[in-house]
Amino acid sequence: EARTRHLMIPPLGDLLDRLHVVALPMRVRFRGITAREVALIDGPAGWGEFGAFLEYGPPEAAHWLASGIESAYTAMPPALRDRVPINATIPAVTPDQVPGVLARFPGAMTAKVKVAEPGQNLADDVARVNAVRAVIATVRVDANGGWSVDQAVAAAAALSADGPLEYLEQPCRTVAELAEVRRRIAVPVAADESIRKADDPLAVMRAGAADVAVLKVAPLGGIRAMLGIAARIDVPVVVSSALDSAVGIAAGLAAA
């Protein structure tokens, strides 16, 4: 597997001796869960995190394990900067809950807002995005592949009616759908799942289906694997997290 070819696998006994399972309570229900369970690895080079979601099969979860092992057993790459701007993340909450969520991201100048939540509608998304705009001007939205092409086109118009969108992340599930949406809307399109869940993470770029690449360390097999993919992408890259603990976010920060 190209993404993990660089990795030296430690003895299983050593890995298990260094493993600590933790459950972190969440302030807001996110991705259908209220507690995040991860395994932390206290390695010779630092802490690593393994936090693949329960529904993932072994092939997909293996990338997450490789990432945790890399962080625990291999030194982080040297930093190229001492400051990285971040976005606040707004789950699919009601508009009245938005100020409370944003208060936990003091100083953030950009917000990523979850949209296309099952059981909600476009009017809910518009209300949430506008509530965010009342506090933070730069807004990007993430649909996690929840729309059809026509729904995505309609959503892009509705969500940008009262202000600009920096980009629309993963509006549809497939690369072909992303490419069609990109042809039909003026809002930039970002790809996330079409990269991290794909057998070929560069296929979305070859198809001209994205203006922005969202890359996550754990699903791509670690910092070095992610940087290898980033080096072959000719659009702007946003480094994101995957509902990580502080340990996983530290790996993302090192990659950024």
Q: What is the rounded CA–CA span in Å between residue 113 and residue 89?
A: 6
Residue 145 C-beta-side C-alpha neighbours within 13 Å:
11
216 as an active site residue: the answer is: yes
138-142, strands of its sheet edge to edge: 87-90, 110-114, 138-142, 168-169, 189-191, 212-216, 237-240
User: What number of other Cβ atoms are within 10 A of residue 197's Cβ?
Assistant: 15
What span, in angstroms and rounded, lies between the C-alpha atoms of 202 and 147?
A: 22
Is 197 annotated as catalytic?
A: no
Q: Say which of 63, 128, 196, 216 is annotated catalytic.
A: 216
Catalytic residue (choose from 3, 18, 112, 114): 114
Return the H-helix or E-strand segment holding 8. Answer: none
Catalytic annotation, residues: 114, 216
